[in-house]
Amino acid sequence: MSDIFYRNFDMQILRAGDEYLAQTESQDAGNASLNFTLPFSEDGLEALLSKLGPARRVRGVETPIEAAKRLGGQLYKAVFSAGIGSALDRSIEAAKRDNERVRIRLRLTNAPELANLPWEYLYDELNDRFLALSYKTSIVRYLETPQSVNLLAVKPPLRALVMASSPIGYDALGVDKEWSNLQTALGKMPRGLLEVDRTEKATLEALQERLSGGNQYHIFHYIGHGGFDPRTGKSVLVMEDDRRQARFVDGPQLGVLLHNHPSLRLAILNACEGAVANQNDVFTGVAQNLIKQEIPAVIAMQFEITDSVAIILAKAFYESLARSAPMDTALAEARLAVFAADDGIEWGTPVLYLRAPDGRLFDVEDVEPQPTPMPFIKPYTPPTLRQSSFETVTLDSLGNETSRRRLQAMYFVEDLDGAPLEMVKVPGGEFTMGSPVNEAERGADEGPQHPVIVSEFFMGRYEITQAQWRVVAGWKKVERELNPAPSRFKGDNRPVENVRWEDAVEFCKRLVEKTGNAYRLPTEAEWEYGCRAGTNTPFAFGETISPGIVNYNSQYPYGKAKKEESRSETVPVGSLGAANAFGLYDMHGNVWEWCLDWYSDQYYEECRRQGVVRDPQGPEFGQYHVLRGGSWLYQGGLCRSALRDFYVARLMYSLVGLRVLVSRLTPPEFVG
């Protein structure tokens, strides 16, 4: 447990006619009081507030830090003058002698109109110091409730549940990017301190499903829109319904679900106005009402927060919290991390609402550091390569077969407990990625064309089948559970579908654990290289395709091919008999296939500027992941070699499956 301790310095503010009465109480300085008025008019306050938050909100010549000092300095002089200021100084000195700190607990319940002031910018002009940036002092909004708060004993890791909401009709927030940013931040933490899950949808129903699913969560983390609903006089979070339309959720509604998950001790609301209350009742804010619903601590944002700052804040805060630090210590360390990395004032954006008297929520069991795992679980034996023959065909522009060739390929077999996985060797080489401007039905994101060098790899001869998926779903999980039978069209040799990107990644990780080979999804460049197999035509089979060799919606053929009856379902992998020149089947149609990359419509332009790129990995961040190959439901033009599509990683889609890749026949850097 953290050995940081605080002494409380309680300040209650009451209305006193046209003034306010501030009353303080502390163990070292006794009681003090003073009457004060706000040092700025409503218009003056609004002008100052407009200069706080992200830099894009700045107006005029005054910088955000100057505005923060002016606002915080005036507020400090008004409230901490005379006896109250002296009492705070005595409390700080007494705490310092005992190697402790002072927690300033603001009690604003009886003056709710003051709750929307940014008290986190209180500034001591004499010492040129923001109180929230000093190790000596922390600032919390204290909301006392009759229910006691007991420490929750936790064996690591702490578990956080994230909900990311972006309903139709609201400005796109890039919530998948924020989710990725959060994972990036937490990925830099030492292993075993924190685990993070995400709700499948941003609905109350999905939240309740997670909370009642057997996992014990300690933190709820919301990313999305917030606002103030004038009809009810309450602030709300803008969640989604099943149709992704906006659903306003206020504090009492959310509080019912969180209250009934007793292990949950903290809510983090990354949403504007999540703490805004009306002028008459402080508990009309979502954050404040969650405290009323017995959540011991809530962190809400009083201004917008930029992505880069959110990453820094999350990493520093969660690391400190996982060491059993009091809430205000964890937030103070996060503020300092933001201050050190950024020259703005976003360190003051988070607001801490608290009802735990000493700020402690968790007693996290100390765990001895685990030794670094050995590189492999078992001695690694490279698989034996075999040779196979296969047929490939070429079609003319009408879809008629003009030639048929028998070729050979090297491959190895991975025995998946009776469901063999055949991995075909694809030689490295250079190709032109993307489509020419004159290719029919070309999408704008398929260009500009650019040269790419791809190293040798092994790719699944077929899409992953339902039998293979079922076997691997029964293996020990690495990060998430897998549904053993997600597919709409049933059949052991049909491709698995209805698969999330996150599930596809989990499938690959289990293969790595079990076999020692470096399984993963293909990058977008590897997928297109493998699909083209040395061709530069719209399809690996030539200028068009036919339903005799590709399972697609042949009611809508490509080019001059004739319209034919469509199958309207998946078919067993490889059952149409024709592979491409590398020996890979069903690269066009049947089911869409996930790629490893994030999607960006500017990705190809960036590659072109770099010249010849080798083994590109795709954009660093994005909102969606890439899909390739088309499916049984899609028209011919959407099954072309260069066609790019995308989808949300966390959602299932009944047309989507996967094909796996091994980048080398040497042990991966880490298994386990």
Give dist(CA 324, CA 330) in Å, integer: 9
Reported as a single tens digit per residue, the pLDDT across 381-403 is 668 899 999 999 999 999 999 99
Instruction: Tell me the average pLDDT across 52-57.
Output: 47
Q: pLDDT at position 151, please?
A: 62
Backbone angles phi, psi at 23, to 5 degrees: -125, 130
Closest CA to 445 of 648, 556, 608, 559: 608
- pLDDT above 70 covers what percent of the chain? 88
pLDDT of residue 374: 35
The answer to whether residues 149 and 262 touch, using CB atoms and an 8 Å cutoff, is no
Residues 186-231 have pLDDT tens digits of 665 666 677 888 888 899 999 999 999 888 899 999 988 888 888 8
Q: Across-strand partners of 401?
A: 395
57 pLDDT above the threshold of 60: no
36, pLDDT greater than 70: yes
pLDDT over 90, % of the chain: 60
What is the pLDDT, as a whole number, of residue 171?
A: 72
- Top-ranked range on mean pLDDT: pick from 95-99, 367-371, 656-660: 656-660
Residue range 406-411: mean pLDDT, rounded:
96
Residue range 554-565: average pLDDT? 95
Cα separation, 516 vs 376, whole angstroms: 7
Band (274; pLDDT cuts 50, 70, 90): low
Q: Out of 95-104, 194-203, 627-636, 637-646, which region has the weakest mean confidence (pLDDT)? A: 194-203
Report residue 660's pLDDT band, with 50, 70 and 90 as the boundaries: very high
If you count DSSP H runs as helices and E runs as strands, how many of each does the chain have, helices first?
13, 31
**Which band of pLDDT confidence, cut at 50, 70 and 90, is reported for residue 273?**
low
Other Cβ atoms less than 10 A from the Cβ of 16: the count is 13
Q: For 209, phi and psi rounded to 5 degrees?
A: -60, -40
CB-CB contact of 583 with 461 (8 Å) = yes
What per-residue confidence (pLDDT) applies to 557? 96
Domain definitions of the chain by residue range: 6-142, 152-364, 387-662
Nearest alpha-carbon partner for 607 in 434, 465, 466, 464: 434
Return all residues near 530 (Cβ < 8 A) that are at least 6 apart.
Answer: 426, 457, 459, 522, 582, 584, 587
Query: What is the CB neighbour count within 10 angstroms for residue 100?
Result: 15
Q: Please tell me which residue, 48 or 489, carries the higher pLDDT value.
A: 489
pLDDT by residue (tens digit) across 161-195?
Answer: 999 888 888 776 666 666 666 666 666 566 667 78
Per-residue pLDDT tens for 319-367?
887 777 788 888 999 999 999 887 689 999 999 998 887 777 776 666 5
Establish whether the linkage from the previous residue to 495 is cis, with ω within 30° of 0. no
> Rounded mean pLDDT of the chain?
87
The whole-number pLDDT of residue 1 equals 44
pLDDT at 352: 93
Query: Where would I find the beta strands (DSSP E) of 556-651?
Result: 592-598, 613-614, 625-628, 645-647
pLDDT of 668 reads 40
What is the predicted pLDDT for the residue at 275?
64
Fold of 152-364: Rossmann fold (3.40.50)
What the block records as the tokens of 499 is 């698969």
- Output 370 or 612, whichever has higher pLDDT: 612
For 570-626, write each residue's pLDDT tens digit: 999 999 999 999 999 999 999 999 999 999 999 999 999 999 999 999 988 777 899
pTM for this entry: 0.58
- pLDDT, position 206: 92
Closest CA relative to residue 163, chosen from 210, 101, 94, 100: 210
> In this structure, what is the dihedral angle of CA atoms 322, 324, 326, 329, given to the nearest 10 degrees?
-50
- Is residue 649 within 8 Å of 489, Cβ to Cβ? no
Of 317, 309, 277, residue with least CA distance to 64: 309
pLDDT class of 407 with cuts at 50, 70, 90: very high
User: Residue 94 CB: number of other CB atoms within 10 A?
Assistant: 16
The per-residue pLDDT for 56 is: 36
pLDDT tens per residue, range 64-116 = 888 899 999 999 999 998 899 999 999 999 999 999 999 999 999 899 889 88
Q: What is the mean pLDDT of residues 152-157?
A: 73
More confident residue, 156 or 290: 290
Interval 505-518 mean pLDDT: 92
CB 585 within 8 A of CB 574: yes
At the second CATH level, the architecture of 387-662 is Alpha-Beta Complex (3.90)
